[in-house]
Amino acid sequence: ETGVTQSPTHLIKTRGQQVTLRCSSQSGHNTVSWYQQALGQGPQFIFQYYREEENGRGNFPPRFSGLQFPNYSSELNVNALELDDSALYLCASSRQGEGTEAFFGQGTRLTVV
Amino acid sequence: AQSVTQLGSHVSVSEGALVLLRCNYSSSVPPYLFWYVQYPNQGLQLLLKYTSAATLVKGINGFEAEFKKSETSFHLTKPSAHMSDAAEYFCAVMGAGGTSYGKLTFGQGTILTVHP
């Protein structure tokens, strides 16, 4: 059983650019969630995807968008990058259902300069 | 709305001593509660979860947590700390329905340091 994998592991972008982060969910999981973890903070929920549709969103602006593919993998896109977008972005996969545990990838460290 | 408060951003213990990491939650519905551990430059690893089956939950690496509804607490304990337990620990709550469905709300984290 393969775990959650994210790519790339590290990324440096310039303010105003766009970035795409990728996530492959764990085998058997149909739901993907994305979290932003700023330095010294707990992860903050960005959004969740189930059956290729956004299924809940946190307090993030529309320039944060996502996709889920038929194989349940997912992308996180961020447009018009700002310095405050510098963070560790975590992808988590799970089975849909109440209280099911989420399994996290290693994260992508994004630095905006 | 749901929220989590972790009391103490840093906890330091000696190897072999009791580990106690505190977590209080707020949730408008009966919650699901989780503890995750994060080692430097890594993602989150699930330690244990509470889903109302039993108030005392045992997890991996000798950790356990007790759900106390009257105190809205879910503190994490380990009887004897090991050097390898040094990491950051996050308590998280997931609501059972509505806008909280499937969404984890995390505390600010507690960094555990273990001294020889």
Which of B33, B104, B105, B108 is the best residue to mutate to test the A interface, defined by the most A CB atoms within 10 Å of its own CB?
B104
Contacts of A101 in chain B (CB under 8 A): 34, 46, 49
User: In this complex, do A42 and B36 lie within 8 Å of one another by their Cβ atoms?
Assistant: no
pLDDT digit string, tens, across residues A15-52: 999 999 999 999 888 999 999 999 999 999 999 999 89
Q: What angle do CA B105, B114, B62 make, to 5 degrees?
A: 65
Taking residue B5's Cβ as centre, other Cβ atoms within 10 Å add up to 14
Using a CB-CB cut-off of 8 Å, the residues of chain B touching A44 are: 106
> Could you report the per-residue pLDDT of A78-108, keeping only the tens digit for each?
999 999 999 999 999 998 877 788 999 999 9
Q: Rg of chain B over CA atoms, in angstroms?
A: 14
How large is the C-alpha radius of gyration of chain A? 13
